[in-house]
Amino acid sequence: MSQDFIHTEENGIKYLVHPKGSIFEGIKIRENPDDAFNNAIKRGMKNPDDWMYMYSENNKDYFKNYYTRNYKSYPQFGIKEKIKNRFKER
């Protein structure tokens, strides 16, 4: 990814943000899109190979279907849910 991105972190999630002046100004992209997929799968995403991660906004991750071009969003897990899930994994 370009070094022009601004690195931020919100609610324990690291993002790359397009800088001021870019046509994509302010759009947040997860530094690790696999985390977005893992979250979406836990939230009910079916056939993850049919989807591509696009961006995050308002505590949701947005995905676009390769075939239909439809968008779908999934709420992100908050810090409390992340902590609970880590304890469940142990």
- Output the six-digit token pair for 63: 């995905």
Amino acid type, 50: D
pTM: 0.77
pLDDT of residue 89: 63
Mean pLDDT by 10 residues, the chain (90 residues): 75 88 88 94 95 94 97 85 68
- Output the six-digit token pair for 71: 């968008």
Between CA 82 and CA 49 the distance in angstroms is 24
3-state secondary structure of 35: helix
pLDDT of residue 48: 96
